[in-house]
């Protein structure tokens, strides 16, 4: 029985997604497979990928450049939200998935496809992100995930592909599962599955080993307008250029490496290595500028929102009513987050060492211990009496006074 007639398949050019093409046609009775490869700044040569899909039996092979929307519509809001999953992971993979889902749905609608397919297995977060985002954008479209059902080992998958003219990978395939885009890199599997084993240097791609980083610190100045990074070292630039340059600069100082055990939505703990130099620095800098420009109560309240926001993004709920409501809150807070932050990059650390803003709420006259002090010291006494009153009453009661 045919599962669908015309399918748009999320395509990377790798073995799994290539095998999906003959598999969908021969096992699941699909008539036409249209592949879609997203250019997310991962640096792969996508013309070869486009051709490979056609050679593997696709009727149409789309390659769509979405680097600009990845930065503007996904990375910038995530920076404004200081989004770090479990306080560490800057969500590079998680942010790209709803964007890929969106262009898959657009293509399915344009080409009149009745289903969308992807190559995710049943153990990860990405299947959840794709399936839920697609359902949110067009609940009528069927979702097919061959690799979730086919039960083939790596060797069997390669053999299946060879039967249909898909060449086995030429180089000895890497033991790692890697996902990459301009925002960062995620590396898992292989020897990393032992949480005690240190990741070998060869897994890192965007960051230098500390032993190889410069012995002098480097300072970068990041300018923000309304919570969005707009300049680097005084030079105004668009998001793609800024993130590309900052990845390079911060990465050369070994900044942005993360080695963590994380909780997947599907209940599994996994060991992840991430590299996300620019996002890491931008979030540190942005959070610092908020401390300067937002009131104490907004800053603190927002920290709770950020935690929920990061979980929603990680858990595939980018297109959801709660996420929309949190976006509205975050946007409202960003209007005054304008200024410049100075970050010192040295031996793997990115430390904010200076910040300034026309909207700064820092008052020298109130903060100073010098002669210019304008703070009313006497007012502190009455404040402390009222502030401490409940504690005083409690203590008296306890002592039977
Ligand atoms: N654990 C990370 C996440 O859920 C990275 C996933 C990487 N995906 C991949 N297909 N290798 O966002």
pLDDT in tens, 4-41: 999 999 999 999 999 999 999 999 999 999 999 999 99
User: Exposed, middle or buried: residue 172 (CB in 10 Å: 0-12, 13-18, 19+)?
Assistant: exposed
Minimum mean pLDDT range among 332-336, 373-377, 388-392:
373-377
CB distance 186 to ligand 1 below 6 Å: yes
Q: How far apart are CA 279 and CA 395, in angstroms?
A: 48
**Which candidate in 18, 61, 97, 129 is catalytic?**
97
Q: What is the pTM of this model?
A: 0.96
Q: Which ranges constitute the DSSP H helices of 208-276?
A: 239-252
- What is the CA(5)–ligand 1 centre distance, in A? 30
Among 94, 124, 264, which residue has the most ligand 1 atoms within 8 Å of its CB, making it the best to mutate?
124
CB distance 16 to ligand 1 below 6 Å: no
The closest of 145, 170, 176, 146 to 158, measured between CA atoms, is 170
Task: Render pLDDT for 56-114 as a digit per residue (tens, 0 to 9).
Answer: 999 999 999 999 999 999 999 999 999 999 999 999 999 999 999 999 999 999 999 99
CB distance 243 to ligand 1 below 6 Å: no
- What is the CA(90)–ligand 1 centre distance, in A? 12
CB distance 263 to ligand 1 below 6 Å: no
Q: Can 16 be counted among the known catalytic residues?
A: yes
Task: Render pLDDT for 138-196 as a digit per residue (tens, 0 to 9).
Answer: 999 999 999 999 999 989 999 999 999 998 887 666 889 999 999 999 999 999 999 99
Per the CB < 8 A criterion, the answer to whether 183 and 70 are in contact is yes
Quick one: how far is CA 348 from the chain centroid?
20
Regarding beta strands 115-117 and 142-144, do their DSSP bridges make them parallel or antiparallel, or are they unpaired?
parallel
Q: Can 179 be counted among the known catalytic residues?
A: no
Residue 238 — φ and ψ, nearest 5°? -70, 165
Predicted pLDDT at 1: 78
Share of the chain above pLDDT 90, in %: 96
Predicted pLDDT at 401: 82
Q: Ligand 1, atom 4: nearest CA belongs to which residue? A: 125
Predicted pLDDT at 304: 98
Per the CB < 8 A criterion, the answer to whether 83 and 284 are in contact is no
Quick one: how far is CA 206 from the chain centroid?
15
- What is the CA(364)–ligand 1 centre distance, in A? 46
Q: Which residues, other chains included, contact 282 with Cβ-Cβ below 8 Å and sequence gap of 6+?
A: 79, 222, 229, 243, 246
Which atom of ligand 1 lies at the shortest distance from residue 125's CA?
A: 4
Q: How far apart are CA 86 and CA 100, in angstroms?
A: 24
Q: How far apart are CA 161 and CA 51, in angstroms?
A: 16
Predicted pLDDT at 205: 96
Please state the domain extents for the chain: 6-68+90-173, 178-294+337-356, 364-399
pLDDT at 337 over 80: yes
CA angle 233, 236, 238 (to 5 degrees): 115
CB distance 127 to ligand 1 below 6 Å: no
Predicted pLDDT at 172: 66
Q: Given 3.90.1260.10, 3.30.565.10, 3.30.830.10, 3.30.2320.30, which CATH number is that of 178-294+337-356?
A: 3.90.1260.10
Q: Do domains 6-68+90-173 and 178-294+337-356 have the same CATH topology?
A: no
Q: Can 342 be counted among the known catalytic residues?
A: no
Per the CB < 8 A criterion, the answer to whether 221 and 342 are in contact is yes
Count CB neighbours of 84 within 10 A: 21
Q: Which residues, other chains included, contact 135 with Cβ-Cβ below 8 Å and sequence gap of 6+?
A: 143
Domain spanning 364-399: CATH 1.20.5: yes
The domain made up of 6-68+90-173 has a fold known as Rossmann fold (3.40.50)
Among 93, 173, 187, which residue has the most ligand 1 atoms within 8 Å of its CB, making it the best to mutate?
93
In the block, which residue shows the tokens 């600069």?
A: 249
CB distance 125 to ligand 1 below 6 Å: yes
Per the CB < 8 A criterion, the answer to whether 261 and 328 are in contact is no
- What average pLDDT does the structure give for the chain? 96
**Which candidate in 173, 174, 177, 363 is catalytic?**
177
Predicted pLDDT at 154: 87
User: Exposed, middle or buried: residue 291 (CB in 10 Å: 0-12, 13-18, 19+)?
Assistant: middle
């Amino acid at each position: 029985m045919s599962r669908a007639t015309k399918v748009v398949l999320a395509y990377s050019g790798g073995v799994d997604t290539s095998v999906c093409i003959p598999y969908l046609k021969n096992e699941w009775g699909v008539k036409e497979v249209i592949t879609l490869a997203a250019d997310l700044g991962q640096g792969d040569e996508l013309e070869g990928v486009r051709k490979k899909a056609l050679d593997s039996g696709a009727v149409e092979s789309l390659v769509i450049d979405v680097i600009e929307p990845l930065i503007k519509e996904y990375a910038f809001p995530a920076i404004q939200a200081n989004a770090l999953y479990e306080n560490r992971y800057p969500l590079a993979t998680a942010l790209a998935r709803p964007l890929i889902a969106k262009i898959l749905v657009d293509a399915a609608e344009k080409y009149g496809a009745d289903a969308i397919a992807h190559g995710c297995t049943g153990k990860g977060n990405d299947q959840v992100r794709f399936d839920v985002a697609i359902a949110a954008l067009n609940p009528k479209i069927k979702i097919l995930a061959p690799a979730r059902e086919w039960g083939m080992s790596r060797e069997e998958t390669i053999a299946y592909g060879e039967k249909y003219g898909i060449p086995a990978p030429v180089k000895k395939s890497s033991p790692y599962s890697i996902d990459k885009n301009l925002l960062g890199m995620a590396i898992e599997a292989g020897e990393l599955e032992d949480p005690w084993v240190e990741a070998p240097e060869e897994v890192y791609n965007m960051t230098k080993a500390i032993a190889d980083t410069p012995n002098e610190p480097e300072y970068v100045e990041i300018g923000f307008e309304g919570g969005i990074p707009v300049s680097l070292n005084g030079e105004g630039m668009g998001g793609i250029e800024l993130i590309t340059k900052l990845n390079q600069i911060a990465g050369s100082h070994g900044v942005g490496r993360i080695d963590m055990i994380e909780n997947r939505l599907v209940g599994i703990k996994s060991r992840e290595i991430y590299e996300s130099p620019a996002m890491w620095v931008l979030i540190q800098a942005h959070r610092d500028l908020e401390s300067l420009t937002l009131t104490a109560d907004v800053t603190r309240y927002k920290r709770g929102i950020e935690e929920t926001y990061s979980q929603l993004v990680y858990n595939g709920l980018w297109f959801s009513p709660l996420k929309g409501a949190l976006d509205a809150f975050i946007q409202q807070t960003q209007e005054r987050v304008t200024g410049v932050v100075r970050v010192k990059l040295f031996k793997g650390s990115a430390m904010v060492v200076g910040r300034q803003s026309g909207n700064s709420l820092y008052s020298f006259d109130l903060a100073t211990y010098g002669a210019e002090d304008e703070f009313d010291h006497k007012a502190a006494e009455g404040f402390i009496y009222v502030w401490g009153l409940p504690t005083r009453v409690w203590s008296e009661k306890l002592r039977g006074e």
